[in-house]
């Protein structure tokens, strides 16, 4: 699939320079007049659409990549499988046009100046052999090509996948691609009308941000010299250091791989000392119950009246030790653990908001300046905090806590600019990022608004939401207890 976007004159000049082509060379390869190239590059006139497309295709056939800021040489494709979406960016020197042509010929046709890549691909032994041969020849200089080979090796014969020239521009577009892919691989099933009914309205109004936690990913600038802290605004030039590893989700909640590069050492220290301990403290029982590993070991949590840990001989079993255990008439056991460390309720909300700010796309940050200052410095706002909705949802387990953001596309008077879903195993918390400039009002009670219920229909299937107030800014003591049901029901940690 060749792109039909017309390149800018300066991009064409830069592309010719990258390839070492003259205007005559480009005209010959594109099949247009030299005057067409010359006039276009001088900005005197734009070529007709067919000629503009021929110019672009001739340059792309030689391995030029057109970007928003300029051009590069190589290829950038997005692979979408039923297991997820990933991008593959490979650049070569202009003299090495052969690898680009070879890659295009694996997944499409090369008829200079035209390069056609088929969007719909199918995993076959023939395709695997071509990819293996390509990787063997070029991976010495571009080792991340092994990712492409592994992707195909993990797919069974006959499974379809999509090869896209650009990543989906919105969640709605990605959802449409996923529908096509699902129907290609499951032709016996009916179209996903039920999913559209549930998520159609949501995808019209919101984009999704769902960072993966199962592979290494750094958010922000790779080079330390280019980093600016998301939270204090300092950079290397203003004295900030970026030497510590900053986890987008605390490591104590199972996160090994998702990191934020644009978080300075001072902010990292502050969050680790002042904000995140409250989040971890209030989730300690859940951490042990779920067996969430932190830095390679299972948690052991001590309280004044007992402790929780995983059995060393059976790490799937949680052990509860308590000095005070009572049983009611129905056989429910309650183990009192005593009070934990003093916590500030608002720090729980700030810690959850810090996670959201760590992963949200950078272009959303200017509208969240007040939110950032509240999270980093505790600066209060006149607007009150909305409640956080909590529930237990029987979803598949995951070794790390997860964060999903819903980012509103258009202005709306009652719907949050950013709605966040934080999940630790079966424990789910839904909350709005407060104090956004794109919100109209204080968002109090947004969870009960009819418009919210109609948009976020998937939350309606959860029967037992509990709306919790974390607006308090004074230290409190939390009495921790465990209730053990006499049946196969899960253990229920009940902080009170």
User: What is the average pLDDT score of the chain?
Assistant: 84
Looking at per-residue confidence, does 334 or 153 come out higher?
Answer: 153
Q: Same structural domain for residues 119 and 178?
A: yes
pTM for this predicted structure: 0.68
State the pLDDT confidence band at 314, using cuts at 50, 70 and 90. Answer: low
Comparing CA positions, the residue from 91, 214, 197 lying closest to residue 144 is 91
For 64-68, 265-269, 397-401, which range has the lowest pLDDT when averaged over its residues? 64-68
Task: Indicate which CATH number applies to the domain containing 26.
Answer: 1.10.260.40
Per residue in 371-416, pLDDT tens?
999 999 998 777 789 999 999 988 878 889 999 999 998 888 889 9
The residue assigned the tokens 């571009």 is 142
Report the C-alpha gap between 49 and 52 in whole angstroms.
5
Q: What is the pLDDT of residue 2?
A: 38
Domain limits for position 348: 209-496
Q: Same structural domain for residues 179 and 269?
A: no
Whether residue 3 lies inside any domain: the answer is: no
State the pLDDT confidence band at 198, using cuts at 50, 70 and 90. Answer: low
Q: Same structural domain for residues 332 and 192?
A: no
Looking at per-residue confidence, does 438 or 317 come out higher?
Answer: 438
Cα radius of gyration rounded to whole Å, the chain: 27
Residues 6+ apart with CB under 8 A from 108: 1, 115, 116, 117, 118
Per residue in 229-266, pLDDT tens?
999 999 999 999 999 999 999 999 999 999 999 999 99
State the pLDDT confidence band at 58, using cuts at 50, 70 and 90. Answer: confident
Name 116's bridge partners. Answer: 109
Structural domain ending residue among the three candidates 190, 208, 226: 208
Structure tokens at 457: 């229909």
Q: Same structural domain for residues 361 and 423?
A: yes
Vertex 345 angle, CA 344 and 347, to 5°: 70
pLDDT at residue 492 greater than cutoff 50: no
* Cβ count near 442 (within 10 Å): 16
State the pLDDT confidence band at 94, using cuts at 50, 70 and 90. Answer: low
Name 218's bridge partners. Answer: 259
Whether residue 80 lies inside any domain: the answer is: yes
Whether residue 189 lies inside any domain: the answer is: yes
State the pLDDT confidence band at 272, using cuts at 50, 70 and 90. Answer: very high
Count of structural domains, the chain: 3
Report the C-alpha gap between 247 and 490 in whole angstroms.
30
Between the CA atoms of 475, 479, 485 and 491, what dihedral angle is there, to the nearest 10 degrees? 40
Write the DSSP assignment of 227-243 as a string of letters. -B-TTT--BGGGT----
The residue-averaged pLDDT of 333-356 equals 91
Comparing CA positions, the residue from 138, 11, 1, 109 lying closest to residue 64 is 11
Q: What is the pLDDT of residue 383?
A: 79
Per residue in 406-460, pLDDT tens?
999 888 888 999 999 999 999 999 999 999 999 988 899 999 999 999 999 888 8
Structural domain ending residue among the three candidates 153, 173, 208: 208
Q: Same structural domain for residues 238 and 189?
A: no
Please check whether residue 219 is in contact with residue 260, taking contact to mean a CB–CB distance below 8 angstroms. Answer: yes
For 4-8, 93-97, 388-392, which range has the lowest pLDDT when averaged over its residues? 93-97
Q: Same structural domain for residues 77 and 146?
A: yes
- What share of residues in the chain are helix, strand, coil (percent, to 5)? 35, 25, 40
Q: Same structural domain for residues 261 and 192?
A: no
Q: Same structural domain for residues 42 and 184?
A: no
From the number of C-beta atoms within 10 Å of its C-beta (0-12, 13-18, 19+), residue 412 rates as middle
Q: What is the pLDDT of residue 433?
A: 97
Report the C-alpha gap between 236 and 438 in whole angstroms.
30
From the number of C-beta atoms within 10 Å of its C-beta (0-12, 13-18, 19+), residue 348 rates as buried
* Cβ count near 37 (within 10 Å): 25
Comparing CA positions, the residue from 470, 232, 262, 443 lying closest to residue 351 is 470
Structure tokens at 304: 């004044």
Whether residue 2 lies inside any domain: the answer is: no
Whether residue 471 lies inside any domain: the answer is: yes
Whether residue 1 lies inside any domain: the answer is: no
Backbone angles phi, psi at 288, to 5 degrees: -70, -45
pLDDT at residue 97 greater than cutoff 80: no
Please check whether residue 162 is in contact with residue 151, taking contact to mean a CB–CB distance below 8 angstroms. Answer: no
Q: Same structural domain for residues 169 and 275?
A: no
> Which range has highest mean pLDDT (21-25, 44-48, 211-215, 424-428)?
424-428
Q: Same structural domain for residues 254 and 157?
A: no
Q: What is the pLDDT of residue 312?
A: 66
Whether residue 184 lies inside any domain: the answer is: yes
Whether residue 4 lies inside any domain: the answer is: no
Q: Same structural domain for residues 228 and 188?
A: no
Structural domain ending residue among the three candidates 208, 241, 262: 208
CA distances from 62 to 97, 117, 122, 192 (A): 5, 14, 26, 40
State the pLDDT confidence band at 197, using cuts at 50, 70 and 90. Answer: low
State the pLDDT confidence band at 1, using cuts at 50, 70 and 90. Answer: very low
Q: Same structural domain for residues 204 and 340?
A: no
- Residue length of the chain: 496
């Amino acid at each position: 699939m060749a792109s039909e976007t017309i390149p800018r004159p300066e991009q064409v000049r830069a592309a010719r320079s990258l390839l070492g082509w003259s205007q005559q060379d480009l005209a010959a390869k594109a099949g247009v007049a030299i005057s067409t190239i010359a006039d276009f590059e001088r900005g005197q006139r734009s070529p007709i659409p067919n000629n503009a497309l021929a110019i672009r295709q001739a340059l792309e056939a030689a391995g030029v990549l057109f970007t928003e800021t300029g051009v590069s040489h190589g290829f950038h494709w997005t692979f979408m499988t039923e297991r997820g979406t990933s991008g593959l960016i490979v650049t070569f020197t202009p003299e090495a046009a052969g690898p680009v042509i070879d890659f295009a010929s694996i997944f499409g046709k090369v008829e200079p100046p035209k390069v056609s890549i088929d969007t719909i691909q199918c995993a076959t032994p023939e395709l695997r052999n071509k990819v293996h041969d390509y990787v063997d020849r070029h991976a010495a200089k571009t080792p991340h090509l092994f990712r492409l080979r592994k992707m195909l090796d993990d797919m069974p014969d006959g499974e379809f996948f999509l090869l896209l020239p650009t990543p989906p521009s919105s969640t709605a577009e990605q959802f449409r691609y996923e529908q096509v892919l699902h129907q290609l691989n499951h032709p016996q099933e009916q179209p996903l009308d039920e999913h559209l009914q549930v998520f159609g309205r949501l995808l019209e109004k919101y984009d999704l941000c769902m960072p993966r936690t199962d592979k290494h990913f750094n958010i922000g600038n790779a080079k330390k010299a280019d980093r600016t802290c998301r939270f204090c605004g300092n950079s290397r030039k203003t004295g900030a250091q970026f030497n510590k590893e900053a986890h987008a989700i605390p490591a104590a909640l199972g996160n090994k791989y998702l990191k934020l590069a644009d978080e300075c050492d001072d902010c990292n220290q502050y969050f680790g000392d002042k904000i995140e301990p409250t989040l971890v403290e209030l989730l300690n029982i859940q951490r042990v119950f779920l067996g969430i590993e932190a830095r390679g070991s299972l948690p052991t949590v001590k309280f004044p009246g007992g402790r929780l840990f995983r059995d060393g001989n059976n790490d799937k079993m949680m052990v509860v030790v308590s000095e005070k255990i009572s049983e009611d008439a129905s056989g429910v056991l309650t183990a009192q653990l005593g009070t934990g460390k003093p916590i500030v309720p608002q720090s729980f909300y700030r810690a959850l908001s810090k996670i959201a700010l760590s992963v949200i796309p950078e272009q959303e940050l200017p509208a969240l300046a007040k939110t950032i200052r509240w999270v980093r410095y505790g600066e209060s706002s006149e607007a009150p905090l909305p409640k956080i909705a909590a529930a237990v949802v029987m979803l598949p387990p995951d070794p790390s806590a997860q964060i999903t953001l819903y980012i509103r596309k258009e202005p709306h008077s009652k719907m949050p600019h950013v709605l966040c879903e934080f999940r630790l195993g079966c424990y789910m918390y839904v909350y709005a990022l407060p104090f956004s400039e794109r919100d109209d009002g204080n968002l109090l009670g947004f969870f009960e608004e009819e418009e919210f219920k109609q948009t976020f229909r998937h939350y309606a299937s959860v029967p037992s939401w509990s709306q919790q107030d974390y607006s308090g800014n004074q230290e409190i003591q939390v009495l921790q207890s465990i209730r053990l049901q006499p049946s196969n029901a899960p253990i229920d940690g009940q902080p009170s």
